[in-house]
A and B are shown apart, each in its own frame.
Chain A
């Protein structure tokens, strides 16, 4: 413990015991020239080889080069990113990053830097043939790094920040978001086929980030009017007396380091148990700060109880000014960026939802550091699920997302509807969105379909088992790199133990179909007929003594119920039949056939039939067609007919002002 280093007003970043393997550590010292929007820096990468291979080359992410020109893989083939065009950019508005010196420490014969122009250090394109893409840098090593050995790579780099296109960069009035801004090591790992190699993908528009755990020390010197929010805790703050300031941050067991500075930030602090919450808020968003902080407190409380411990002593909320909003909506270790605007009304809970979402990433992505580039559903889908749970827990099932002017809806129902409203529900498998489908990736399949699938799982298993399942997954995989198969293995293990083999196969089928296949779920109760029993009628006997019998009613009813499977997804369902005397009957259906008819007798008339009456299968894309009744609530027809009429009358009265 070196807690003594921490300034009295800041948190303590040091863990007594390492939580991860810490194989990618960084020591960065930089100077920011805010007028030129440029940083010059030295960086030491301390990288430990945990593989059985001798490493001959390093691979570094150079994300900022995505914003160098339109030939980058990130910007190529599009004219706008996240709804913003970048056509009228001046020379000053583009961004880039360059390693000007890279030295493998301890190699006597490598005292001179290897110039990047020599071709020894070069940009490579492991994923596409775009030779102009400079988002991955290959650094051949003079001396291979043996298994278990540590590499010290001393670098110098310069980074010019772009005017924000996506996430990172600068905006007016000295607003800077330093997000994925330094040369960062890729991940050397065993792939799914069991072979070791670099997982260091180029930067694509539709995919995010993936990196190893380590300890970060970042020291920045910058003009003293800039107020900083950063990952980790401040361990040094020194006024240089020349209008600049040098501050240093330290954070352990994280996969990245982000920082933001702005001339008009105001720092709001609060404490939740061991966690210091800092909200960096533009002065004119001051009144929103308590809402942001409360959203983080709610998330901390809920996730600690339902997922696991948040071991870090700090979390920084960055609330960008409206003109820097495109740096918002993101998650970095112990730092999240939200999105709000001056005067955002209380009933507009998108402000809180965003913060909850990004905070939940501290668990799903920062600690459970899955590969966002290849399996985005593992973080975004789980985060959507918890965002909805947390929102509902604090604001109510049907009011957690919006509660304005009598219009309200909850996070969970919104998520489901976002998924069910996409044009082609069977357009592709969730697992393929992004990595295998970079051009037309469906965000909804990654976020909302996965989230809705997890709700379905929760309802099938019960909340308690679901919580234990997630806790087991978290405890087993935190500070590691879990894959989809790892989650499934944990899930099936817990389900089998708690709910038996039959439920295990249901859950496995649910996971496989909703994540790895393109199908969707739609069960329908298409018809229900209940007819009182009656005696046979017509002519009976032979020609000699033909007997005519009239039909007569008998006690009891004959019932027919038809159910259809309209989607490709197959799940067992229950059908609940309600009779007039209040009694009910449950039919269990394996859900396999495209259409199936059930016939049965009853004492009183059947009133309604309902597939999955508890709506456990929340993934079903049409819940209205799950039930059939002969006694519908017809007053609702009038309610909406009259509402629409009233609305139309008002529209007509308003449009005819001038005629």
Chain B
């Protein structure tokens, strides 16, 4: 498991070329929304003296007035974000096809990335949709009753603390389940590549493999989760210590943010690599 973890990171760092493409694609998509925000601010309150309050600190009044009168960020996010998510989900099917293919072949080149993305697009789309559907169903099945029946649950419990504990307990189970689902999805895709099985067979094998190696898969993904949380914590600390409060700091933080985003992309490749390492614990082909 530890070996798979380090192996995953090795693969991630070797895939830096692919990671760069993924990063750029994502950056461009996000830039669309960023520029919408830029021009919205300019055209709505671009000539206001109140703007300087937003530089020094968060200002509830300035932002609320902006949203109330002009729709502000809300409008951009509600109209723009769903489209971006949809485009990215589709792009992501292609990306995972390319990535997994490259990882399977131990050759982290652009050529292999494009080839894999194209070859596995439709089968990965189907596999992805199945897992997305399972994920959404289970999420709804767990959280809707827990939040909606607050009024009946609370009095039925010995105390309020238990409600909090139940929420935390369910949350932990839920996260373990999501990790399991993620492990299964990744394994199913690898089976598709490695054994060229049918969609149905890949799904079955993916679940079967993840179930048989449950502790290893969970252990690996939990390690990755902690790695991510560690970096998030570092980011929060830096942000909390200063934040974008001067023109220079705005760009310093932009740089830090982009490093963070790039790390998250490497992280995802690392997870794929780690799962693959668990599946074929042979050795590095190189």
Docked complex: B228-275 residues within 8 A CB-CB of A: 239-240, 244, 246-247, 250, 253-254, 257-258, 260-261, 264-265, 268
Contact present for A398 and B57 (CB under 8 Å) = yes
Q: Please pick, from A172, A623, A646, the residue contacting B65 in the complex, using a CB distance under 8 A.
A: A623
Rounded to whole Å, the gap between the CB of B206 and the closest CB of chain A is 11
Contact present for B250 and A625 (CB under 8 Å) = no
Q: Please pick, from A173, A398, A421, A630, the residue contacting B64 in the complex, using a CB distance under 8 A.
A: A421
Contact present for A341 and B33 (CB under 8 Å) = no
CA distance A148 to B49 in the complex (A): 64
Q: Please pick, from A410, A641, A643, A658, the residue contacting B35 in the complex, using a CB distance under 8 A.
A: A641
Number of A interface residues in the complex (CB < 8 A):
62
Which residues of B sit under 8 angstroms from A627, Cβ to Cβ?
A: 47-50
Stretch at the interface among B101-109, B127-135, B195-203, B209-217: B127-135
Docked complex: A268-313 residues within 8 A CB-CB of B: 282, 284
Q: Please pick, from A321, A342, A610, A659, the residue contacting B124 in the complex, using a CB distance under 8 A.
A: A659
Contact present for B33 and A645 (CB under 8 Å) = yes
Which residues of B sit under 8 angstroms from A172, Cβ to Cβ?
A: 155
Q: Please pick, from B33, B41, B52, B92, the residue contacting A656 in the complex, using a CB distance under 8 A.
A: B92
Contact present for B61 and A416 (CB under 8 Å) = yes
Whether A623 touches B61, Cβ cut-off 8 Å, given contacts A641-B35, A642-B254, A645-B31, is yes
Rounded to whole Å, the gap between the CB of B245 and the closest CB of chain A is 9
Contact present for A638 and B250 (CB under 8 Å) = yes
CA distance A645 to B182 in the complex (A): 26
Contact present for B164 and A636 (CB under 8 Å) = no
Q: Please pick, from B27, B38, B84, the residue contacting A638 in the complex, using a CB distance under 8 A.
A: B38
Instruction: Indicate the size class of the contact surface on chain B.
Output: 35 or more
Which residues of A sit under 8 angstroms from B77, Cβ to Cβ?
A: 644
Rounded to whole Å, the gap between the CB of A557 and the closest CB of chain B is 18
Contact present for A655 and B69 (CB under 8 Å) = no
B279 at the interface (CB under 8 A from A): no
Q: Please pick, from A171, A409, A658, the residue contacting B128 in the complex, using a CB distance under 8 A.
A: A658
Contact present for B151 and A651 (CB under 8 Å) = no
Contact present for B250 and A633 (CB under 8 Å) = no
CA distance A407 to B132 in the complex (A): 32
B66 at the interface (CB under 8 A from A): yes
Q: Please pick, from B37, B88, B155, B164, the residue contacting A640 in the complex, using a CB distance under 8 A.
A: B37
Which residues of A sit under 8 angstroms from B240, Cβ to Cβ?
A: 406
Contact present for B264 and A653 (CB under 8 Å) = yes
Contact present for A633 and B45 (CB under 8 Å) = no
Rounded to whole Å, the gap between the CB of B259 and the closest CB of chain A is 11
A226 at the interface (CB under 8 A from B): no
Contact present for A644 and B52 (CB under 8 Å) = no
Docked complex: A566-621 residues within 8 A CB-CB of B: 608, 610, 621
Contact present for A637 and B42 (CB under 8 Å) = yes
Which residues of B sit under 8 angstroms from A173, Cβ to Cβ?
A: 155
Contact present for B41 and A637 (CB under 8 Å) = yes
Rounded to whole Å, the gap between the CB of A610 and the closest CB of chain B is 6
Q: Please pick, from A417, A420, A639, the residue contacting B244 in the complex, using a CB distance under 8 A.
A: A639
Q: Please pick, from A407, A625, A641, the residue contacting B37 in the complex, using a CB distance under 8 A.
A: A641
Which residues of B sit under 8 angstroms from A640, Cβ to Cβ?
A: 37-38, 41, 54, 73
Which residues of A sit under 8 angstroms from B84, Cβ to Cβ?
A: 648, 652
A650 at the interface (CB under 8 A from B): yes
B62 at the interface (CB under 8 A from A): yes
- Binary interface encoding of chain A residues 315-343 relative to chain B, with 1 for a CB under 8 A from any of its CBs, else 0: 00000011100000000000000000111
Contact present for A421 and B68 (CB under 8 Å) = yes
Residue from A172, A608, A624 with most neighbouring chain B CB atoms (10 Å): A624
Docked complex: B60-110 residues within 8 A CB-CB of A: 60-62, 64-66, 68-69, 73, 76-77, 81, 84-85, 88-90, 92-93, 96
Contact present for A343 and B164 (CB under 8 Å) = yes
List 14 A–B pairs whose Cβ atoms lie within 8 Å, in order of A's numbering. Answer: A321-B160, A322-B160, A406-B58, A406-B240, A409-B60, A413-B61, A626-B48, A636-B51, A636-B54, A641-B34, A642-B253, A649-B261, A651-B85, A652-B29
* With A624-B66, A650-B261, A658-B131 already in contact, 8 other A-B pairs whose C-beta atoms are closer than 8 Å: A398-B60, A632-B47, A639-B54, A640-B73, A644-B34, A648-B29, A653-B268, A659-B124
- Which residues does B use to contact A, with CB under 8 Å? 26-27, 29-31, 33-35, 37-38, 41-42, 44-52, 54-55, 57-62, 64-66, 68-69, 73, 76-77, 81, 84-85, 88-90, 92-93, 96, 124-125, 128-129, 131-132, 135, 151, 154-155, 159-161, 163-164, 178, 181-182, 185, 239-240, 244, 246-247, 250, 253-254, 257-258, 260-261, 264-265, 268
List 10 A-B pairs, minimum CB-CB distance, nearest first: A659-B128, A645-B34, A656-B92, A627-B49, A641-B38, A658-B131, A342-B160, A172-B155, A409-B60, A635-B247
